[in-house]
């Protein structure tokens, strides 16, 4: 079992992204809000992925991901209608050497911008001091989960 440990923040102000790389992402959810797992399809650049996540909002949760071919993706994609997100993901490195993923949401989720940082262990996640361009920590706020936003739109406020 793979465990994903990450913190998620709103973005207080846009950083310099000149050293970051951007990739378009489309993702849709096959699961409903009442399901105990997230089953997600993701087109990330030219990769197609099927991901299972279990554990809800918070610092750590189970994650299993596999590459799928374009035909399988295209077959399943229509089942995500009404449960989709589009964004551009900017991946860069913080001065401390930690990788960040900054998501600029599009469509009905614009102008939301979030940034995530993944960690190897819980102690590192808890000890992380975000740079000043990071805003509020929304790691524990289920309203900022991608599946919830795909269904309900961006959180208000």
Closest CA to 106 of 19, 39, 24, 9: 24
pLDDT of residue 36: 81
**Residues 6 or more apart in contact with residue 33 via CB below 8 angstroms:** 147, 148, 151
- In order, the DSSP letters of 45-98 are TTEEEEEEEES-SSSEEEEEEEE--HHHHHHHGGGGTTSEEEEEEEEEE-TTS-
pLDDT tens profile 114-133: 999 999 999 999 999 999 99
Q: Which pTM was predicted? A: 0.91
3-class secondary structure, 125: helix
What residues form DSSP beta bridges with 114? 10, 103
Indicate which residue of 9, 29, 73, 134 is catalytic.
Answer: 29
- In the predicted structure, residue 1 carries a pLDDT above the cut 70: no
Q: How far apart are CA 55 and CA 59, in angstroms?
A: 10
pLDDT at 157: 64
| C-alpha dist (Å) from residue 63 to 37, 91, 95, 131 | 10, 20, 28, 27
Domains and CATH numbers, the chain: 3-152 (2.40.320.10)
Q: Which has more confidence, 71 or 3?
A: 71
Active-site annotation holds for 144 = no
25 by Cβ neighbours in 10 Å (0-12 / 13-18 / 19+) ranks as: buried
Cis peptide bond N-terminal to 111, omega within 30: yes
Instruction: Look at residues 7, 8, 9, 11 and name the one whose alpha carbon lies nearest to residue 133.
Output: 11
């Amino acid at each position: 079992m793979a465990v994903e440990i990450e913190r998620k923040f709103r973005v207080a102000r846009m950083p310099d992204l000149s050293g970051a790389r951007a990739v378009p992402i489309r993702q849709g959810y096959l699961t409903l809000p009442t399901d105990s797992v997230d089953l997600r399809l993701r087109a990330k650049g030219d990769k197609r992925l099927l991901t299972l996540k279990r554990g809800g909002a918070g610092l750590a949760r189970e994650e299993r991901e596999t590459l799928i071919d374009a035909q399988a993706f295209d077959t399943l994609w229509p089942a995500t209608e009404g449960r989709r997100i589009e964004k551009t993901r900017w991946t860069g490195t913080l001065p401390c050497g930690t990788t960040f993923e900054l998501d600029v949401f599009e469509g009905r989720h614009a102008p939301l911008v979030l940034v995530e940082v993944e960690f190897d262990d819980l102690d590192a996640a808890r000890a992380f001091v975000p740079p000043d361009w990071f805003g509020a920590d929304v790691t524990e706020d289920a309203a900022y989960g991608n599946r919830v936003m795909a269904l309900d739109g961006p959180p208000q406020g």
